[in-house]
């Protein structure tokens, strides 16, 4: 069992998120985090889905995602070197006499204070999951009032050659040009028969 980071390029259409999350739920797969945002082409969105499972289970997940019509491409980023980030907004109980102390802790983690109130502050922090978790644990003794995280986002490292970045392209159903428009930046990949 290990963490898998799936990057899923989808058509930007209503209901795609519900369709994909429904596929996970129907088959009993758990989603640890899911982040969706538009890509450089507004007709497409990228989902970064973090799920935990063995390699065989995650291969099944990739195949099931490939059967969804709106899915253009699926890539397992955990099979390659990638840059991962999570964004945290944390509201911590902080009387005036503790502000310097908390500011120093935030600076060590390269975080910043983005809001100050009479009895609390809000700290923003980005980084890998383990860094975020370590920071949250250091702040617990002060009293966490609110915590919000984006979930993990990831992209392959820029220094990684294309040939070293294995991609699992979703199997596509035959669609007419009116039904689907695939961006030129996403090459058509044909999978060998399984």
185 versus 39: the higher-pLDDT residue is 39
Average pLDDT over residues 93-109: 94
83-153 belongs to CATH 1.10.3720.10: no
| pLDDT score of 162 | 57
| pLDDT score of 161 | 63
Virtual torsion, Cα 148, 88, 114, 83, nearest 10 deg:
-150
Domain ranges of the chain: 2-80, 83-153
Average pLDDT over residues 55-73: 89
Average pLDDT over residues 19-24: 90
Burial class (CB in 10 A: 0-12, 13-18, 19+), 150: middle
Query: Could you give the CA distance from residue 48 to residue 111 in angstroms, rounded to a whole number?
Result: 24
2-80 belongs to CATH 3.30.70.260: yes
Mean pLDDT score of the chain: 83
Q: Are 181 and 67 in contact (CB under 8 A)?
A: no
Average pLDDT over residues 154-165: 69
| pLDDT score of 126 | 95
């Amino acid at each position: 069992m290990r963490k898998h980071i799936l990057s899923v390029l989808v058509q930007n259409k209503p209901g795609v998120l519900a369709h994909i999350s429904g596929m996970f739920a129907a088959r009993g797969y758990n989603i640890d985090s899911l982040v969706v945002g538009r890509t450089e082409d507004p007709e497409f969105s990228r989902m970064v889905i973090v799920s935990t499972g063995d390699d065989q289970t995650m291969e099944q997940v990739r195949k099931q995602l490939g059967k969804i019509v709106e899915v253009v491409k699926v890539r397992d980023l955990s099979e390659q070197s990638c840059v991962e980030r999570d964004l945290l907004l944390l509201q911590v109980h902080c009387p005036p006499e503790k502000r310097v102390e908390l500011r120093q802790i935030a600076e060590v983690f390269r975080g910043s204070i983005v809001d100050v109130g009479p009895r609390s502050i809000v700290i923003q922090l980005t980084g890998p999951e383990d860094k975020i978790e370590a920071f949250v644990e250091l702040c617990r003794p002060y009293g966490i009032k609110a915590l919000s995280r984006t979930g993990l986002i990831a992209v392959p490292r820029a220094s990684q050659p294309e040939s070293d970045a294995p991609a699992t392209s979703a199997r596509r159903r035959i669609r007419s040009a009116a039904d689907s428009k695939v961006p030129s930046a996403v090459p058509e990949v044909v999978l060998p028969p399984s």
